[in-house]
Structures are given as C-alpha cells and as structure tokens.
C-alpha cells in the first residue's frame, strides 16, 4: 500500500515526490529491518559489559584515567563504574570489604577490577576468579577475595600469564593496574575466552581474619574500619551475635574499645539520640557500628582501626 501511494505521488510530481518517496521507503525499511541483538555475538552479553573499578590510587594524578583508557582501547563499549579509588593505601582488608559489599548489587557477568596491591612487582600472582554468582574478579592474589569466597564461593580461578591479555610492551614493575589488571578486565568485557588467560589456581590467598566470638561476659570483636568521612566505627560483630546477648532497642550497652570505656544506647539510627551523643546501631551490612550523632566517633575518642572491642553482655 505504501509503495502504491509513493508511486502515485511520483507520477504527479516526478522530481520532488520521487525524492520524498525514496526517503520514506528507506525509513520504513529501516524500522522493519531486524535488529542484531548483542546476544547473537559470540561471548557477548545482551547489555553493554560492566566493569566495576576499585583502587587505592586516589584521584590526585592520572593513574585512574590511564587504566580507564587502557580498558576503553580494548573494549570501547564497556561501561566503567568507579567503586572507589580511595581505599586506605595498602589496606587489602578494606578493599576486600568494598568488593564484597558492592558485588551484592551488580548483575551476573559484572567484571570487577580491584587493584590494592602492596606486593606489586613481586612474586604474588595476578588472577581472574569467577564467583559462583557468575561475577568476575581481576585482582592481585593477596586476600582481596576473602569475603567473596566466604559468601559466594569461587567457581574457578586462573593466573594471568598469557601476554595477549596484557598491555603491549614491557610490564612495569610498579604499575600492574595499567599493564595487567586493566587490560585483562577489558578482554573479559570484550568477550574473550578467559580460560586462555593462564593456568588454573587451585587456592587463593586469604586474609587471616579473627572472627568476633561470644565470651562468658560479652562479645570479643574488632573495630575493622571507619565509615568514610563520618568517623563511625565499623566492627566485625554481626547483628545476630550481638542480639544473642539479649539486647533490645533502647538498652544501654557497655563497650570497651582499647582503653576507652563508655556506655551507648542501642538504637536504630543517628537521630535517635541528641546531637553530639554516642550510639550503637546495626549498619547497612548487618554489623554493629558505633557513632556520634553529627560527629566523628573516631576523632572524638581517638580511635584508629584495627583495634579490639569488647561488648558487655546485657546486665
């Protein structure tokens, strides 16, 4: 029908109508043309690949941008999400915690490139690991995947030894983020077969973590980190363990942090106590936290993680 209308228009106005008819037919055919789904391309996902990037590089110089440039040179359609580039320098434990928390909120197939690497240039391995949730982690084998392994499990891991998966040229002894981890993550995003990256790694390095435990008179745990710029204390005491001591919202809790002793109410959130007052709460990761409403607990009480904490049992 559309072709007939076009032909009629062309008969009456041979020059202009012919032009308009050709354009209209082109548009109609373009709309009707079957689209090539990315799923039809070997090794590709149905959406643009996601690379979640985390380092302790900071954003003071060009290191992060250089790594992103490497990724985009190899996988130009990748979506790069910055997890953070302000992991406390050399803190593998903080990096492991950030990777574990963030991974919960990204889909299967997401690629995490994590570079917290105090052993850069040494004999420590560079690896790609696939979790049992179907996510990929491109990291130094130094304990960064401890929490991922504990929660999600590791389906397989391989050492990055194939030079094709690295940036061309000699590998720097101090910038493996650029030369090894960024290109390996980008090759994954491009859809390359990761089983060719290198030999299997049967066991990953793990952090030596001391879990919180129930004692006769309370809970022995640790302050493991601070909550960003706010100075709230993050502990390794899980909510279930704390609640086994019989505490209910509103109860006062006696706490020892190193030599510091104080009592804080167990509440839901910061505004449940007056400004400037301490509180104990369960944070968004299900761990006991300590804070001062609109203040820095760490600064006020001069607390620097890691440090031991003792939570007394309910009186």
pLDDT digits (tens, 9 = 90+) for 64-94: 999 999 999 999 999 999 999 999 999 999 9
Quick one: average pLDDT of 5-22? 45
The predicted pLDDT at position 125 comes to 97
Structural domain includes residue 43: no
Whether residues 222 and 308 share a domain: the answer is yes
Q: Please state, rounded to an integer, the average pLDDT across all residues of the chain.
A: 88
Whether residues 82 and 158 share a domain: the answer is yes
Quick one: average pLDDT of 232-239? 96
Whether residues 129 and 243 share a domain: the answer is no
Structural domain includes residue 45: no
Structural domain includes residue 192: yes
Structure tokens at 129: 């690991």
Q: How many domains is the chain built from?
A: 3
Residue-range definition of the domain harbouring residue 94: 50-196
Structural domain includes residue 95: yes
The tens digit of pLDDT for each residue in 106-122 reads 999 999 999 999 999 99
Question: Between 2-12 and 16-32, two packed helices, what is the crossing angle to 10 degrees?
Answer: 170
The predicted pLDDT at position 46 comes to 63
What CA–CA distance (Å, rounded) separates 177 from 186? 12
Structural domain includes residue 18: yes
User: 114 φ, ψ to 5°?
Assistant: -120, 120
């Amino acid at each position: 029908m559309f072709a007939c209308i076009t032909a009629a228009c062309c008969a009456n106005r041979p020059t202009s109508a012919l032009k308009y008819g050709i354009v209209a037919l082109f548009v109609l055919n373009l709309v009707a043309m079957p689209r090539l789904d990315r799923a039809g391309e070997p090794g590709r996902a149905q959406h643009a690949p996601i690379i979640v990037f985390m380092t302790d590089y900071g954003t003071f110089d060009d290191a992060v941008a250089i790594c992103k440039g490497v990724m985009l040179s190899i996988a130009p359609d990748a979506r790069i999400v910055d997890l953070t580039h302000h992991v406390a320098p050399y803190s593998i434990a903080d990096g492991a915690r950030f990777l574990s928390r963030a991974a919960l909120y990204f889909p299967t197939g997401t690629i995490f490139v994590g570079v917290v690497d105090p052993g850069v240039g040494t004999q420590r391995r560079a690896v790609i690991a696939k979790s049992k949730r179907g996510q990929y982690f491109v990291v130094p084998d130094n304990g960064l995947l401890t929490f991922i392994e504990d929660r999600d499990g590791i389906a397989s891991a391989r050492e990055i030894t194939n030079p094709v998966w690295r940036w061309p040229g000699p590998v720097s002894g101090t910038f493996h983020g650029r030369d090894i981890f960024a290109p390996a993550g980008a090759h994954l995003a491009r859809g390359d077969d990761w089983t060719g990256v290198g030999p299997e790694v049967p066991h990953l390095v793990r952090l030596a973590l001391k879990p919180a435990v129930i004692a006769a008179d309370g809970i022995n745990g640790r302050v493991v980190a601070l909550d960003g710029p706010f100075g709230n204390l993050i502990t390794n005491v899980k909510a279930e363990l704390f609640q086994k001591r019989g505490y209910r919202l509103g109860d006062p809790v006696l706490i020892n942090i190193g030599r510091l002793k104080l009592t804080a109410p167990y509440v839901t959130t910061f505004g449940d106590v007056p400004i400037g007052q301490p509180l104990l709460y369960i944070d968004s990761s299900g761990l006991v936290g300590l804070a001062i409403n609109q203040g820095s607990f760490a600064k006020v009480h001069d607390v620097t993680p890691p440090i031991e904490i003792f939570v007394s049992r309910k009186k």
